[in-house]
Amino acid sequence: MKMRQVIAIGGGGFGRTQESNLIEQFILDQTSKKNPKICFIPTATGDLDPYIVNYYSVFSKLNCEATHISFFKRTIDLEEYVLKQDAIFVGGGNTKSMLAVWRDWGLDLILKKAYDRGVVMSGVSAGAICWFESGLTDSWASELKMMECMNFIPGNCAPHYDEEPERRPATKKFLQDQSITSMFGIEGGAALHFIDEQPNSTIRFKKNKNAYQVTLELNKVNENPYNCLLYTSPSPRD
């Protein structure tokens, strides 16, 4: 049986900068394929064209077959297409709107089937929290909220944990009111790699970045970092 993997990125990658391809290469490497098929799903930005261009600009430099799925033009047979992939990358944006579109099309169930078959699931921001039981999202303009996600991974996720100043206070608030009992806090420049629903290691593709298990004890926030892998050597293209 193939292991199930999720790579949840706290921030960074091709959507923000193209100065390195480290996390992108790490995702491809987890497929154990020489020329893996990877599919980008940019629904959370409404399939924003520049975001798609950035995706192809980066992944065209790597050994892979890169494609994407659009929901705002004519949409392909999703199940047939997704199950042929080796990896999925979900972009950032509005998590609530993204999941609403996916559920209407049944993509959430298709992704779960692919995940159970060993397709590597990955993504940043909205594309990170979507895999969890719930996530801390800025889908609402007024405030950060916890929202129910797809529950591939038990627990709760907060991306941009160090990049946006309101993330830590919001996490503390939800811990204090007992909405949650713990949080996976993932900083920009880091990703938390899960294998069979368990956190395996933090993938650090920028210096001094971490992912944490965040809990509350006696009204004090505890941030326990996961073991880190500093990923610095992407495989060269032939």
Q: According to the model, what pLDDT value does residue 103 have?
A: 97
- Among 122, 134, 160, 193, which one carries the catalytic annotation? 160
Q: What is the tens place of the pLDDT at every residue in 161-185?
A: 999 999 999 999 999 999 899 999 9
Domain 5-230 belongs to what architecture?
Answer: 3-Layer(aba) Sandwich (3.40)
Separation between Cα atoms, residue 13 and residue 141, nearest integer Å: 24
Contacts of 149 (CB under 8 A, 6+ apart): 95, 99, 129, 130, 131, 132, 133, 134, 135, 157
Contacts of 190 (CB under 8 A, 6+ apart): 9, 10, 202, 203, 204, 205, 206, 209, 210, 211, 228
Q: According to the model, what pLDDT value does residue 237 have?
A: 43
Comparing C-alpha atoms, which of 101, 74, 96, 78 is closest to residue 88?
Answer: 78
Residue 125 falls in the annotated catalytic set: yes
Name the stretches of the chain with pLDDT < 70: 15-19, 230-238
Residue 97 falls in the annotated catalytic set: no
For 60, phi and psi rounded to 5 degrees? Answer: -70, -20
- Among 122, 125, 134, 193, which one carries the catalytic annotation? 125
Q: According to the model, what pLDDT value does residue 113 have?
A: 98
Share of the chain above pLDDT 70, in %: 94
Q: According to the model, what pLDDT value does residue 76 have?
A: 85
Q: According to the model, what pLDDT value does residue 236 have?
A: 45
